[in-house]
Amino acid sequence: MIKGSCLCGEVQFEITGEVTPIQNCHATRCRKATGGAYAPEALASKDGFVWIKGKGLLTEYTAPILNAPPAYKRAFCKMCGSPLPVEIEGTNFMMLLAGILDTKTSTLVFRHAFVSQKACWHEITDKLPTYQGQPPVPEKYKS
């Protein structure tokens, strides 16, 4: 069981099973959404995902479509602004940022996405695969 929560603790969720490996996304929109150098994105199956507390504080923002659907959608806590898991339309997955997890997980970062939009002040120092744009979705996570 993996637990996660926002900064103020008013929103809590649980995931049965594991989350996917983490993709560090350097896209401009992901940097804006997090305030960080990248968004550490993991997926969790909707089947094992449950909101424990504070679902009413969940707020969603959908950005205008840039190139092609689906739209860029973010969820956050209305109280503290922490990024929260959001459904990926047309799939069986929730996308979450690994920094909000409270439970230790064996999941590791496995690649970098949208490196062409990387912050000028950030240097990638690991040897993980890099993709200039959106990498392909691993076959096992398509649904």
Residues 6 or more apart whose CB falls under 8 angstroms from that of 106 comprise 18
* Count of residues that interact with Zn ion, criterion CB under 5 A: 6
Structural tokens at position 126: 């690991």
Binding mask 70-109 for Zn ion (x = CB under 5 A): -------x-xx-----------------------------
Which CB atom, from 5 or from 45, has the smaller least distance to Zn ion? 5
Q: How far apart are CA 69 and CA 58, in angstroms?
A: 23
Which CB atom, from 40 or from 83, has the smaller least distance to Zn ion? 83
Question: In the window 44-63, what residues touch Zn ion (CB under 5 A)?
Answer: none
Least distance (Å) from Zn ion to the CB of residue 22?
Answer: 22
Ranges of beta strands (E only) in 12-135 are 12-15, 22-25, 39-45, 49-53, 58-62, 73-77, 83-84, 86-87, 93-97, 109-113
- The residues binding Zn ion (CB under 5 A) are 6, 8, 10, 77, 79-80
